[in-house]
Chain A
Amino acid sequence: MNGEGVHFGQTRLPDRQAEVLRRAVRLEWVTIGFLVITATLVFLVLGNSQAMKAAWAEDLLSFIPPLAFLIAVRLARRRPTRRHPYGFHRSVAVGHLVAAVALTGMGAFLLVDSGLGLITAEHPTIGTVEVLGATIWLGWLMILVMAVTAIPPVVVGRLKIGLARELHDKVLYADADMNKADWMTSAGTIVGVLGIGIGLWWMDAAAAIFISVSIVHDGIGNLRAAVVDLMDARATTFDDKSPHPLAERVDHYLAGLSWVSAAGTRVRDQGHVFHIEAFVVPRKKRLSLEDIERAREGCVALDWKVQDVVIVPVPELPAVVQPVTRPGSAA
């Protein structure tokens, strides 16, 4: 990159995370590459299968998360300015929200479409194609394409989850999670097309409904996560499974300082990095600016994700923070 190294806003990324970021960017380009191939192949054999149409729509939707990630990491590098005093990290959350809305909307549309197909008993017609001079049933080609394109997303998805944890990137995680489950779409489509093959026309619509439900499920899960992040809910780990341990580390660090009797923090996940308001109750009425500044620097040194910390001396901790008292003190 450049001599100064890779930044997320004001934070210079540690070498390890900078390398992870490079790999994540590369993997997302790989993802886009195979999505182009997959979407083209599926389009070529689309035919009249409802399940194939749903699978194709999902392929097209799968472009959004990697693109959102690539754009977001680019924007997140910018330094904060007067106009944007918190930096550009929220671009990750915005990208996340956009991807989630697209998923939910498209999934709902496909669900209604496939449901109508089932109700009106639309029998999908799939005829033959000519491949290298031989006439074969198009369904076999559909199954072949689905089988071939089922595996790569699973592999890439698994790789991306590890990187998402390291970078604390929720868009990357959402993308990885979708990739990982992508084989179910392929398997569902294969079952639907085989159903058409053996004369069970409804299996195609049923498979399409299954795929639509999985798209809606992904969409709603991501929608919830994105909205919760934009609402500044308590910072969680990259997979939203537990509160982020970093908040507690900051609390304990501050409570351990000699001039502090109790500390509690309010952490905003900006996407990649955290902005922290740390409330401290000083032991004495007088405190020095140097102590506060040193405490701030100490917090920033804890982890690269601690981007902005404000230390607020208060007589009493606000009710919304988890109070941590100085170890050994009687509290």
Chain B
Amino acid sequence: MRKLLRATTALAITLLMLTGCGIRIPSDPRGTLEAVEGGVLRAGISPNGEWVRLDGQEPHGIEVDALTTFAESLGAKVEWTTGSEQSLVRGLEEGDLDVVAGGITEKTPWTNKAGVTRPWAQTRLEDGSTVKLVMLVPLGENAFVSELETFLIDDARDRGIAP
């Protein structure tokens, strides 16, 4: 019992020290959020229905809009990279991209290569089933993924597409 008390106290002190040092929880091992803030959001997009369209001069679509507003909220510009999901995921793994979108659903098979946001939007498919949409981020960049999720879900509520 005494050991338990000691462990709890040690934990509490560590926590206090950490917050005292100004470390934010969660944070990014690779500093993605800090790099994006006031800089560039490197977004990978793959064309998919109303979510990402590449048929005009500039990319457009719901996810493109959402990411543009997200970048603005961080004072950042967006640098678009287009490609297949697989090549974009490799971009995430190699640290060349910060986020990947393209009508990716929560059933995505990329879970051990990329971090997955929680579902932020939902839509009804032609066969009547509902799918929930996610975006992919680099593995373990937890401050960035938390910031992105929070923004996306607020944004989806405004548009009335939140799950």
Contacts and interface: CB of A to CB of B under 8 A. Distances in A.
Contact of B28 (A135, A137, A190, A199): A199
B61 interface: no
Interface string A148-182: 00110010001000000000000000000000000
Interface string B115-136: 1111000000000000000000
Contacts of B4: 150-151, 154, 183
B139 interface: yes
A127 B146 contact: yes
Contacts of B112: 122
B162 to A, nearest CB: 10
Interface residues of B, number: 30
B139 A126 contact: no
A201 B143 CA distance: 12
Nearest to B27: A199
B149 interface: yes
Contacts, number: 84
B142 to A, nearest CB: 5
B25 A198 contact: yes
A125 B138 CA distance: 8
Contacts of A194: 11, 14-15, 18, 25
B7 to A, nearest CB: 5
A128 B25 contact: no
A203 to B, nearest CB: 11
Interface in B1-15: 1, 4, 7, 11, 14-15
Q: Which bracket fits the contact residues of A?
A: 20 to 34
Contacts of B1: 154, 158
A196 B11 contact: no
Contacts of B137: 125
B8 to A, nearest CB: 8
A111 B138 CA distance: 25
Interface of B: 1, 4, 7, 11, 14-15, 18, 23, 25-29, 112, 115-118, 137-143, 145-146, 149-150, 153
Interface of A: 48, 122-130, 135, 137, 139, 150-151, 154, 158, 183, 187, 190-191, 194, 196-201
